[in-house]
Structure 1
Amino acid sequence: MNNPKEDLQHIRQMMERSSRFISLNGLSGVAAGIFALIGAVIAYWLFQQYEVDYFSGNRYAYSYELELRLLILAIVILILAVGSGILFTIQKSRKNGLKIWTGTTKILLVQLFVPLAAGGLFCLALFYHGMFGLMAPATLVFYGLALVNAASYTFSDIRYLGYCELFLGIVSSFIPGYGLIFWALGFGILHIIYGLLMYKKYR
């Protein structure tokens, strides 16, 4: 004889799988956080090497060589973070027998991409005008908006991470010279804490 309670739970799980992307792995957040912290440390070391007092909050005309190295560092960190996220997501999907590329996945990516693309272009404008002190806060704000925007199509817990990123970004925009610290907190520490909590909750 079927158990109505178990049947309802099964139906609920099927509906959740069809409407939400549930293959996110908390370990991808941990990996992204570690890479972000490493990137922040290297960025600070580069500023020291070029005798730039980043924490003064002053505007600097960075040398072409420093700008190029910072750009390469950012690209490498991004590739490592995204690559580890994809790897852990594929691993979890195979383990749970779930498809990765679905209609929900496409919607999720669109919800993430629009704020991130807008943020990327905005940061390019800041870079063009030499407003380097606002670039770190801007990345946190737009990333937070992207997470809040996409929360309806994956684990709802990601919304709270988005709110925290937004808060850090807004606060850091009022404290010139400390953007790198807030960036490390948001993309590094928060990602690690969030990733560990998500891994424990949804593994």
Structure 2
Amino acid sequence: MEESSRFLSLSGLSGILIGIYALLGAFVAYQLIYTSQSFDIYSSNLIPKLIFIALTVLAISLVTVVFLTYKRAKKSGKKIWNPGSRLMLLNLAIPLISGGILIFIFVFRGIYEIISPACLIFYGLALVNAAKFTRQEIFYIGLIQVFLGILAALFPMFALLLWALGFGIIHVIYGAVMYFRYEHQTKA
């Protein structure tokens, strides 16, 4: 029953890699922000560059997750597209897409301070929502993301650091735990 209603082929290695991508993206963003000649990042030409970095990290992360998850599912003889994966993706997509639309509205209206917290909060809510259809650890990662997003809203001067912590460090830790808990044992 669990096999048909839950998607269990998520790759721990993909969690590690997307965490590394996020940390690299945060480093590049940090370099742009703090080595820029402008003292007001919100009135400079940095916003399009930061959006490009974020979208690039997102695209590379999605490709990595799909590729490594497909590879893991194929290796274990499971289908990647099953009732569990469809339910997980639907429950993940609703908060992610609505949050993404809201974030783009913030960008076009020039409300930049809320972007980092909104990314973390909506991503966290998406994970909490999708956790019903995959591993339970996803639920706790989602709660951590929401908490970090709230902290980023309360302390905007640390938003980039909290973003790097949530999307970077937390994913690396999560990916390593998942790899050694579920994948490493199957190789031995």
TM-score (norm 1): 0.85
Aligned with 2:156: secondary structure? coil
Aligned residue pairs, count:
183
Distance 1:179 1:52, change over 3 A: farther
In structure 2, stretches of 5+ residues that fail to align are: 184-188
> Residue 183 in 1 paired to residue 163 in 2?
yes
**How far off its partner does 1:178 sit?**
1.3
Contact preservation (8 Å) 1:148, 1:158: yes
Q: Please give the alpha-carbon distance, in whole angstroms, between the structure 1 residues aligned to 2:162 and 2:48.
A: 23
Distance 2:111 2:157 in 1: 11
Q: CA deviation at 1:49?
A: 4.1
CA distance in 2, matches of 1:177, 1:51: 18
Distance 1:59 1:29 in 2: 30
Tell me the CA shift for residue 72 of structure 1.
2.0
Distance 2:41 2:27 in 1: 21
Aligned residues of 2:106 and 2:112 also touching (Cα < 8 A): yes
Deviation at 1:52, TM superposition (A): 4.2
Say whether residues 1:94 and 2:80 are aligned partners.
no
Q: Deviations over 1:38-83 (max 9, x none)?
A: 0000011112343345xxxx772232xx333222222211111111
Match of 1:75 in 2: 55
2:8 matched to 1:22?
Answer: yes
**Structure 1: 5+ residue stretches without partners:** 1-14
Distance, in Å, in 2 between the alignment partners of 1:102 and 1:197 is 25
Q: CA RMSD in A?
A: 1.4
**Segments of 4+ moved more than 6 angstroms:** none
Question: Does structure 2 conserve the Cα–Cα contact (< 8 Å) formed by 1:59 and 1:130?
Answer: no
Asked if residue 38 in structure 1 is aligned to residue 38 in structure 2, the reply is no
2:70 aligned with 1:84:
no
Amino acid paired to 1:68: P
Partner of 1:60: 42
Secondary structure of the 1:132 match is coil
- Higher mean C-alpha displacement, 182-191 vs 123-132: 123-132
Q: Give the alignment's TM-score, normalised by structure 2.
A: 0.92
Query: What is the distance in 1 between the residues matched to 2:2 and 2:136?
Result: 12
1:124-150 deviation digits (Å, cap 9, x = unpaired) = 122123221211011000000000000
Structure 1 residues 156 and 149, CA gap change in structure 2 (3 angstroms):
same
Matched, 1:104 2:84: yes
Question: What is the aligned partner in structure 1 of residue 113 from structure 2?
Answer: 133
